[in-house]
Amino acid sequence: MSQSISRRDALMQLALLAGGSSTLAAGPTRAASEPPHLMPSDPTAVALGYHADATQVDPKQFTNYKPGETCSTCLQLKGDAGQPWRPCNLFPGKLVSANGWCRVWVKRP
């Protein structure tokens, strides 16, 4: 009897480990209520030249880009300063990277 309980306990621990490893493999998760991150492949993002990492912007392709410009200094960015992903007036329902950039960047006064 005690052997079957031990086996059951072992199987339960394996199941818990398997569940935990799949969570780890999926990477960090966002809070369920947090809007999704804007993907650079989003059609509107493509149209506006959005990059999640402003250092990856090609200044030959986006001639109005100046090094150092990021969403974190843009007039259109909302939300709390210091947060890595924040709402933007141009992309409702999505979060943009504070380190991102798009062609309509306007310096926050």
The site for ligand SF4 (CB under 6 A) is made up of: 50, 71, 74, 76-77, 88, 90, 96, 100-102, 104-105
C-alpha to C-alpha distance for 15 and 8, rounded to whole angstroms: 10
Q: Which of 107, 94, 108, 109 is nearest to 50 (CA)?
A: 94
State the amino acid at position 32 in one-letter form. A
The distance of closest approach from Cβ of residue 50 to ligand SF4 in the complex, given in angstroms and rounded to an integer, is: 5
Q: Kindly tell me which of 8 and 78 has the beta carbon lying closer to ligand SF4.
A: 78
Under DSSP, the state recorded for 73 is G
Q: Kindly tell me which of 6 and 96 has the beta carbon lying closer to ligand SF4.
A: 96
The distance of closest approach from Cβ of residue 60 to ligand SF4 in the complex, given in angstroms and rounded to an integer, is: 19
